[in-house]
């Protein structure tokens, strides 16, 4: 088992109203997108933040991944808009 | 490579690269630009990922060009109009290598370093900057 | 734009470009590189043509990219290993414009500014540097 | 009529042993290359400097020109190797 820490940044963080939360690690094979479906049911803020998946990016253990990537053994998932640094 | 809220001195950064034996130094400095009504940019970042992402970009550049030195500085926090945001400096024995690596690094920072810019305007409004598709296209043009 | 025997301060040149409203500053600095046995480069130039040639290159860059400022400095005379030879700095509102214009300017200086380098070596020999075909090809790649 | 000032740079200057000389302006239609032929006959240094035309470049009144360009009304001709600045 174990825990999965989830981090939010920029307007994703603002809509959800928190910068992190911790969940039990999802079942083997569950993808980031499936986890977002599950989280979207937990609050109006989550639902709004995750409504348009095309505007979301994800990182597992600090590496960018597509949303259909299985969470696997990762300890940290981050959800955020496309980056705008530089 | 530094990620910091602190300002930096581009002249001192260039001097450090000039002290290397290469002879060809390229640099890029990005500042907060006044587009009319902007008072500041606030830069949020993902600290645990930033260092890793920048180290990875620098390693890619070093694998691709014969570089003797690379400096990447990216600030975070609230930066007023005219403040420096980012600096990339490269030193090489070859003019083309230093120029191309500098352009590559700043292009990749734009699309793969976990920073998000929020505009703060003189009318009190705030808004997250949307990613430009052109940046993605330009970074992809470097291939992998 | 300056052609001079005197040294210059890249940090001060960058600061002047940063003071413009653009927000995107690119630079290239070329130094005398120690390739083993070199003690100095002597740069001869054709003064009446140099100013005209550099002004023409800068005008081409300004016609091609939306630049807010351009600095070109090229030294002549006898320059020891480690000395600065050339500086190109560009300021724009657009990252890509400043980077491309900087690369264009240094590429064109290489092939169309009337300077000739002579190597002076520690064994007392002197030899004129031969033009590299690659520089010509790279300048031509920018088209006209 | 009038005069044509000729400038030499780098190893062209060294082989000829002087950095400039002045000639009467050549007849209408005469090219830079024809003028080099004429000058090559004036000294061993000129002959050696102008032996390999592929290694020479020219400027008329401070603008690069191909060697087959007519000298025309120009007042200053410069002969030199390919440039190596920057």
Instruction: Write out B3-14 in H/E/C secondary structure.
Output: EECCCCCHHHHH
Residue C13: name the closest of C24, C27, C32 by CA.
C27
The domain containing residue B40 runs over which residues? 2-141
| Contact at CB, A81 and B114, closer than 8 angstroms | no
Provide the number of structural domains found in chain B: 1
Instruction: Estimate to the nearest angstrom the gap between the alpha carbon of B139 and the chain centroid.
Output: 13
Q: Tell me, what CATH number does C79's domain have?
A: 3.90.1170.40
Instruction: State which residue of chain B sits closest to A57, comparing Cα positions.
Output: B114
The torsion angles phi and psi of D24, rounded to 5 degrees, stand at -65, 145
C47 Cα to chain B: minimum distance (Å): 25
Instruction: State which residue of chain A sits closest to B132, comparing Cα positions.
Output: A84
- In this prediction, residue C138 has a pLDDT band, given cuts at 50, 70 and 90, of confident
Of C23, C31, C102, Cβ closest to residue B31: C23
Q: Which chains touch C (3 or more CB pairs under 8 A)?
A: B, D
pLDDT tens, D46-55? Answer: 999 999 999 9
Q: Please indicate if any CB of chain C lies within 8 Å of the CB of B36.
A: no
On chain D, the residues whose CB falls within 8 A of the CB of C58 are none
DSSP code of residue A53: G
On chain A, the residues whose CB falls within 8 A of the CB of B44 are 9-10, 13
On chain D, the residues whose CB falls within 8 A of the CB of C131 are 81-84
Q: Please say if the pLDDT value at position B105 is more than 70.
A: yes
Residue C136: Cβ-neighbour burial (10 angstroms; 0-12, 13-18, 19+) = middle
pLDDT tens, B4-26? Answer: 888 999 999 999 999 999 999 99
Q: What is the mean pLDDT of residues B96-114?
A: 96
Q: Please say if the pLDDT value at position C71 is more than 60.
A: yes
Residue D39: name the closest of D82, D6, D2, D84 by CA.
D6
| Contact at CB, A85 and B46, closer than 8 angstroms | no
pLDDT tens, C19-62? Answer: 999 999 999 999 999 888 899 999 999 999 998 999 999 999 99
Instruction: State which residue of chain D sits closest to C126, comparing Cα positions.
Output: D11
Instruction: State which residue of chain B sits closest to C82, comparing Cα positions.
Output: B23
Say what the ipTM of the complex is. 0.91
Measured distance CA(B66)–CA(C81) in Å, rounded: 20
Q: Please indicate if any CB of chain C lies within 8 Å of the CB of B124.
A: no
Q: Spell out the residues 6+ positions from residue A52 whose beta carbon is closer than 8 angstroms to its own.
A: none
Q: What is the mean pLDDT of residues A7-14?
A: 98
Measured distance CA(C22)–CA(B31) in Å, rounded: 8
Q: Please say if the pLDDT value at position C134 is more than 90.
A: no
In this prediction, residue C132 carries a pLDDT of 82
CATH 3.30.300.100 correct for D3-80 = no
Q: Please say if the pLDDT value at position C144 is more than 60.
A: no
Q: What is the mean pLDDT of residues C56-84?
A: 96
> What is chain B's Cα-based Rg?
16
B55 within 8 A of B113, measured Cβ to Cβ = no
């Amino acid at each position: 088992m174990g825990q999965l820490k989830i981090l939010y940044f920029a307007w994703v963080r603002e809509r959800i109203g928190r910068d992190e939360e911790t969940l039990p690690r999802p079942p083997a094979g569950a993808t980031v997108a499936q986890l977002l479906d599950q989280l979207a049911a937990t609050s109006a803020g989550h639902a709004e933040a995750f409504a348009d998946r095309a505007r979301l990016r994800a990182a597992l253990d600090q590496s960018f991944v597509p949303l259909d990537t299985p969470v696997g053994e990762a300890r940290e998932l981050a959800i955020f808009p496309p980056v705008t640094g530089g | 490579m530094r990620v910091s809220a602190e300002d930096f001195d581009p002249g001192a950064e260039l001097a450090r690269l000039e002290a290397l034996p290469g002879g060809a130094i390229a640099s890029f400095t990005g500042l907060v630009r006044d587009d009319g009504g902007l008072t500041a940019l606030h830069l949020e970042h993902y600290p645990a990922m930033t260092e890793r992402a920048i180290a990875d970009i620098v390693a890619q550049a070093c694998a691709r060009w014969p570089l003797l030195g690379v400096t990447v500085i990216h600030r975070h926090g609230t930066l007023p109009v005219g403040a420096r945001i980012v600096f990339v400096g490269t030193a090489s024995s070859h003019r083309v290598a230093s120029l191309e690596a500098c352009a590559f690094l700043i292009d990749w920072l734009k699309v793969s370093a976990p920073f998000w810019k929020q505009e703060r305007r003189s009318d009190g409004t705030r808004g997250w900057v949307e990613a430009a598709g052109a940046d993605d296209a330009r970074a992809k043009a470097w291939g992998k």
